[in-house]
Amino acid sequence: MGHGIAYIFASAGYKVALHDAHAPTLESAPRRIESLFELLGTDKAGLANLEYHADIATAVANADFVFEAVAEKPEVKQAVFAKLDECAPVNAILATNTSAIPIREVGKVVKKQQRVIGTHYWNPPHLIPLVEVVQAEFTSQDTVDRTMALLTGVGMSPVHVKKDIPGFIGNRLQHALKRECIALVANGVCDAETVDKVVKEGFGARLAVIGPLEQSDMVGLGLTLDIHKVLIADLDRTPGPDPFLVEKVAKGETGMAVGQGFRKWTPEQAAEVRTRLNKFLVDAARNKAKRS
């Protein structure tokens, strides 16, 4: 995630100082970032904007913005933010990239909390433009405004999440859908392949061009209400993870990497899915670049 974020800003002309405490990861970063310039046909002059630092204090010494992208564990992020609070300039904005951890948990170790904000990039960040900008109770409006402006200026598509809730917007929507998908399979309504086919070839085919609330407004809210009267009470309400999912993980059936998740996977099938997804995202990014 970090090298993708670094690419976004370096390719847009910003000076970027990259730090990683894991030496092999830091050593591989220049080539990984260069490969993104090649993938998207970006002018490699932007590579000159990059610096690499083994020492975090040196990396952030002159920073206006700091984007953290460490492991999705509160204690790890808190340790990094405590260090940033000591080393980064007092007016630098400190942004945490997290999928679900409340920003208040990450930022509670910082003295000047008004400069702490959430920036949830979607993976891979160099191909997916949306960034959820999450405002905690202590985050100042100036911090929000500066972050939104910076991200917009480098071609990203930021949205302002006004309340610091777990999962923010995107992951709440995504996992509400996943909960129902898992329940359908667990209850024997259909198999996993059927669920994915219905999403990809049914309502999912239009989601990139019309959102769910746009679609409701288009067909009329009366129809949405009528459907909800019949459907909502019957949707899955399992508190916590579905036992079906818990059992699969306990048995080691964790997905493509082991050949079995919600369905069986051969190495060839898994590779085809990854190739298909990457091609779709790269083509979309290239088409967007041509239009801009």
Token representation of residue 97: 């990239």
Average pLDDT in the 61-68 region?
Answer: 98
pLDDT, residue 54, reads 97
Fold of 2-161: Rossmann fold (3.40.50)
Tens of pLDDT, residues 17-44: 999 999 999 999 999 999 999 999 999 9
pTM score: 0.94
pLDDT, residue 290, reads 77
Residue 17, helix vs strand vs coil: strand
Nearest CA-CA partner of 19 in 63, 72, 73: 63
Decide whether 2-161 matches 169-237 in CATH topology: no
Tens of pLDDT, residues 177-236: 999 999 999 999 999 999 999 999 999 999 999 999 999 999 999 999 999 999 999 999
Q: Which residues, other chains included, contact 195 with Cβ-Cβ below 8 Å and sequence gap of 6+? A: 181, 184, 185
pLDDT, residue 48, reads 98
Task: Using pLDDT thresholds of 50, 70 and 90, give the confidence band for residue 292.
Answer: low
Residue 124 has pLDDT above 80, yes or no: yes
CB atoms within 10 A of CB 23: 9
Where exactly are the structural domains of the chain?
Answer: 2-161, 169-237, 252-292
Type of residue numbered 60: V
Sheet containing 65-68, strands listed edge to edge, beginning at the edge strand earlier in sequence: 65-68, 93-96, 116-121, 130-134, 157-161
Considering the domain delimited by 169-237, tell me its CATH architecture. Orthogonal Bundle (1.10)
Token representation of residue 84: 């940033």
Please give the helix or strand (H or E) that residue 222 lies within, else none: helix 221-231
